[in-house]
Structure 1
Amino acid sequence: MLLPPLHIKLGMMKQFVKALDKENSSFQYLCQKFPRLSDAKIKEGVFDGPQIRSLMTDERFDTTMNTTELEAWLAFKDVVNNFLGNHKHSDHKNIVANLLDKIQKLGCNMRIKLHFLDSHLDFS
């Protein structure tokens, strides 16, 4: 049984935010961008689809991250745009492999949703 792409995206976003340094400017920017979202939800990385889409188009968010965070974020955006959507990029296996590498460097654990993402490669 495969998880829907939205569940995978939400899980990856949750892991990404949890791995951010809470004292870093990128985490502080999230708190400023979503003032109505509680600190607990932000710390746990609980975002919905529209909030994630908003961040994906926000160039200012990209400038608040350090190099490791930015590489993981760009790999996440690449997977969302080129693998989890309706159209799969011809090089989607390398795109997913790049994401897995970058998020592990960031300090994210290989959670079950990432295993599902990896297993999606066999069915696409």
Structure 2
Amino acid sequence: MWTLPPSKYWSKIIWFAFVHFTTKNVYLKIMTERLRNNVQNEPIVKADDILMPALHIKLGLMKQFVKALRQDSPAFEYLKRFFPKLSEAKIKAGIFVGPQIKKIMASEEFPELLNTHEKQAWLSLKAVIHGFLGNKKYTNYKELVSNMLDNFKVMGCRMSLKVHMLHAHLDQFKDNLGAYSEEQGERFHQDVMDFEQRYQGQYNENMMGDYIWSLIRESSYLHRRKTKIVNF
């Protein structure tokens, strides 16, 4: 439980958010000193060689945006109607998967339900996803990310670790993040989830067989049995 009065509590939160949105490498300076004495063995992979997870950062940005929405706002109510099978707890926590984010981004009604600051943050988020976290990296990607961070700050979003990646380590990302994304693994997760619901959560060879046959049916490469011509 919080022991601080509400006024002091919110002033501390505002100060914490201000420091993280205005000071870069705040995590790096603090965590480097703390983790240096806890390392027993040398890491196998250098920190500079680790790829930034584009899909996870996209999910993290969406999470912080939705959590900053007022739960009694028309936009939040629209999300609950737009995803009827998604629990309200997941919507409040901003937990979405890749295909769900694509659906809500394609919606023309959702931006009209946002206020001025929320709409600016939403449009800047879409610009970053299309112009930086996808297969193409626009030449003005730094400007796109900077505008999104400024709009997130005005909206009151938290500076999570994934948001911090864009704030302080923007130059460490690859040019074509789509080639290094986990989109294929996310698609496998969604496909298997459908089969899990069909088989009521039972993992067996029949479920995997149906999943493999579904992949074969979706493939454009068809195997045809050739008959041998016998001449007498």
Q: TM-score range by the shorter chain?
A: over 0.9
2:72 to 20, 23, 42: 23
Q: What is the distance in 2 between the residues matched to 1:118 and 1:18? A: 19
Deviation at 1:110, TM superposition (A): 1.1
Deviation at 1:86, TM superposition (A): 1.2
- Which is greater in Rg? 2
Letter in 1 for 2:102: R
Tell me whether 1:5 sits opposite 2:5 in the alignment.
Answer: no
Letter in 2 for 1:102: N
Q: What is the distance in 1 between the residues matched to 2:119 and 2:167? A: 21
Q: What is the distance in 1 between the residues matched to 2:80 and 2:74? A: 10
Deviation at 1:121, TM superposition (A): 2.2
The superposition leaves residues 35-79 of structure 1 with CA deviations (integer Å, 9 ceiling, x where unpaired) of: 100000000000000000001110011111111110000000000
Q: What is the distance in 2 between the residues matched to 1:119 and 1:87? A: 21
Letter in 2 for 1:113: K
| Deviant stretches of 4+, over 6 Å | none
Asked whether the equivalents of residues 2 and 116 of structure 1 are also in contact (C-alpha less than 8 Å), the reply is: no
**Which structure has more RCO (C-alpha within 8 Å, separation ≥ 6)?**
1
Q: What is the distance in 2 between the residues matched to 1:112 and 1:118? A: 10
Q: What is the distance in 1 between the residues matched to 2:167 and 2:51? A: 11
Asked whether the equivalents of residues 2 and 120 of structure 1 are also in contact (C-alpha less than 8 Å), the reply is: no
| SS state at 1:60 partner | coil
Deviation at 1:17, TM superposition (A): 0.4
| SS state at 1:59 partner | coil
Q: What is the distance in 2 between the residues matched to 1:87 and 1:123? A: 16
| SS state at 1:37 partner | coil
Tell me whether 1:66 sits opposite 2:139 in the alignment.
Answer: no
Q: What is the distance in 2 between the residues matched to 1:123 and 1:19? A: 27
Name the structure 1 match of 2:83.
34
Q: What is the distance in 1 between the residues matched to 2:72 and 2:55? A: 29
Name the structure 2 match of 1:97.
146
Q: What is the distance in 1 between the residues matched to 2:136 and 2:168? A: 17
TM-score by length of 2: 0.52
TM-score by length of 1: 0.95
Summarize the alignment of residues 65-84 of structure 1 with structure 2, pairs less than 5 Å apart: 65-84=114-133
